[in-house]
Each structure stands twice: as structure tokens, then as C-alpha cells.
Amino acid sequence: MSLTLDDRQINPPVLLAPLAGITDLPFRDLVTSFGAGLVVSEMVASQEMVEARQSVRDRAELGFGVENTSVQLAGRDPRWMAEAARMVAANGARVIDINMGCPAKKVVGGLSGSALMRDPDHALRLIEAVADAVDVPVTLKTRLGWDEGSLNAADLARRAEGAGVRMVVIHGRTRCQFYKGRADWAQIRAVRDAVSIPVIANGDIVDADSARRALALSGADGVMVGRGAQGRPWILAQIAHDLGHGPAPDIPEGGELIDMISNHYEAMLTFYGHDLGLRVARKHLGWYMDGMGTGTALRRRILTSRDPAEVLRLLPEAPEQERCAA
């Protein structure tokens, strides 16, 4: 299985999905350190970005100039989408992704994200505006459709290819499903049959077995992992290895795992600052402790502490709870 985006090889063909509030720069750097073919930034609202003129931290957040990073844009106005695309390309973005898959009410209420699948003609105008504005590869992320009565991903992907999109990622649910039920990987095959550009399967891919099933049912050229990477930044590399791409990752255990978690925690505090960093870090620490089976009392102390030194002191005790409970 080989995946090419224009003149660049995406190797391995296992990608990290954009997840709002999760796939920030510290997390993407950590996932990349284990191995990932492409990581995608959190969704950026096009008009707000252009009008606000990003801060230094915001610019760093997008990973400008990082070879394996794609910057994802969202919006409803072709003008602002094109302006934002030109801005991020001028700042060094290597790949630009268009979000037409986010199901969040706030995004859909603004007629962005998956709401655009209800108006394919307008969606195409946005795609054309971005593709015409930049020379870097433009990709598209969608769902199967708005609901079961309008599974139009294949038609939109075909038109997007004609407008210059170089790869499509399809989450195997409709917008109205949100994240309920199971991703329907077989429905992605219609998209694969409609286009000649790479197609990536997304949704419920959490390990090598689910990746194999998704690839077999969809005929896709690669897979994208989202929630499955929470608390397991090595899982993309493990999936890639199990699919025959590259060496097995060195999955940290014991002291090495605590060191990795501690370094990730400190990286978030450095990137966001103390107060915001503490809030952002809690979800990641919670996922790590889920994997370690940390006891309830210690978990509460770690997640409620506002003293980084205390958190770092307590973290080595977290995996001990699992052994004591066994």
C-alpha cells in the first residue's frame, strides 16, 4: 500500500485526524515522534484567522513549514477561505485541508463543516476558491453525507477532484449520526470508485484489525486515526507496522511511559502557559491514566492539582495503582 500526494510520498499511509482541542502542536509532535505519515492541525476558522492576524503562538500551532503537517481550514465564504489559504501557504504550510466533515452544532450552525454537504454547489465554490488560490496540495475531509437520505460524498469527491483537490478523507458516518453507531466503511467504496486521487478511510479505526477491515471494505489507500490515538500516541506507528509499513514502535512502559507523559505535560504548559496549559493537559492525563488503571483517589488528585510540580511528583505512582488492584 503506497500513498502519494502530488510529488510527495505519505509514508506510512496512516494519518492523524484533526481533533478540536486535542491534536494541538505538542500532541502532533508526540505522535510524529513515534511515526505518522501525515498529521493534521486542529480546524482553523478562515475568516477569524485572516481578520485577527494570528499571534505568534497561533502561528506555531499550525505547524507551518513542518513537512508532515496539513493545516485544516473551515469556513462558508469562498473569499475568506481563499484568503486564509493564501496566508497559510505564504507562511509555509505544506498541505491545506478543507473541513466539510465537522458535525459540531456550533460549526454547522455557522453553515461550515458538514453543513456544506447539504449544498454541494456552494461547497464546490469553496473548494475551487482554495485550490485556485495556492500551489500547495489541497485535500478535502467530509462525511458520507448529511443524513442517510443524502449520501453524496462520492459525487462531491468527484467534483472536488475536478476542481483540483488531490486527496479526500471520508469519515464513515453521516453528519446526523455524529459519533453514534458504527462507521460504515463499505459506503466509502463508492467514493473510491468515483475518483482517481487517494481516498483515506476514517472513523472507528483504533488498531490494526479495524484498519484492515476498513481498508478491505472501503478499498481506500490509507487510514486516518482520530479518537483511537487519545492516550496512545504510538498507535499510528503500531498500526502502520502491523500493516507492513516500517518498524514496530518502542511503546513506552513503566518509567519510560511516565517520562513520556511528564514530557508531554510540560510541553503543554510551555506552549499554552500555566492556566490554559493545566486545562488542556487534564484530558490527556485522564486518557493516560485510563490506560494505566490509575485509582480513583490518585486520579482525582492529579487532575485537580494546579501545581505542576505536584502533578509530576504524583505521576510515577499512577501505574502502581494498576498493579495494586490486580
Give me the average pLDDT of each 10-residue run along the chain (326 residues): 80 93 93 94 83 55 74 92 91 89 73 83 95 96 87 96 97 85 95 97 97 98 96 97 94 96 97 94 97 95 97 93 40
Q: Mark the binding-site residues, compressed into ranges.
A: 72, 141, 171, 226-227
Q: Per DSSP, what are the bridge partners of residue 5?
A: 8
Tell me if residue 102 is catalytic: yes
Q: Any long-range contacts for 5-10 (C-beta under 8 Å, 24+ apart)?
A: 5/38, 5/95, 5/137, 5/139, 5/166, 5/167, 5/198, 6/137, 6/166, 8/137, 10/37, 10/38, 10/68, 10/222
Catalytic one among 15, 96, 102, 107?
A: 102
Q: Give the model's pLDDT for residue 2.
A: 64
Q: Mark the binding-site residues for FMN, compressed into ranges.
A: 72, 141, 171, 226-227
| Helical packing angle, 296-304 and 318-325, nearest 10° | 170
Q: Per DSSP, what are the bridge partners of residue 14?
A: 223
DSSP category for residue 247: P
Q: What is the pTM of this model?
A: 0.91
Q: Per DSSP, what are the bridge partners of residue 74?
A: 45
In 3D, which of 26, 34, 125, 134 has the Cα closest to residue 83? 134
| Helical packing angle, 120-133 and 78-90, nearest 10° | 30
Residue 224's CB is within 10 A of a number of other CB atoms, namely 27
Q: Give the model's pLDDT for residue 57.
A: 44
